[in-house]
Amino acid sequence: MLGGDLRDQAVWVDEAICIGCRYCAHVATNTFVVEPNLGRSRAIRQDGDSTERIQEAIDTCPVDCIHWVPFESLEALKQDLVRQNLQARPQG
Ligand code: SF4
């Protein structure tokens, strides 16, 4: 654990919607990283920040693409993400 809480929900970024603004990564620095190839944010760990801090990051997202999801659905969401074969966002 890295300053995070045990919780029953996992945090998930819908990368198809993410515009790569980095707000979330500035708020919850241990949790969100804008992946350099795709230019979209990803939750790299689930125990990096407090629930409040992650919620703050969710609230700051301008396109509402960060969601609390059941831990059990994470794997299916990841597989679905791979299937979407997202293209890189222009860096800016
Ligand atoms: S705040 Fe939202 S749109 Fe901006 S990088 Fe994070 S997930 Fe993507």
What is the pLDDT at residue 1?
55
Tell whether pTM > 0.75. Answer: yes
The pLDDT tens digits for 41-88 are 999 999 999 999 999 999 999 999 999 999 999 999 999 999 999 988
Is the CB of 27 within 6 Å of ligand 1?
Answer: no
Query: With contact defined as beta carbons under 8 Å apart, do 89 and 19 qualify?
Result: yes
Correct CATH for 9-82 of 3.40.50.300, 3.30.70.270, 3.30.70.20, 3.40.50.450: 3.30.70.20
How many other CB atoms are found less than 10 A from the CB of residue 84?
10
Average pLDDT over residues 8-24: 96
pLDDT at 24 (0 to 100): 98
Domain residue ranges of the chain, discontinuous segments joined by +: 9-82
* Ligand 1 touching residue 65 (CB < 6 A): yes
Ligand 1 pocket check: which of 23, 53, 64, 89 to mutate, most ligand atoms within 8 Å of Cβ?
23
The half-sphere exposure of 52 on its side-chain side, counting CA atoms within 13 A, is 1
What is the per-residue pLDDT for 66? 98
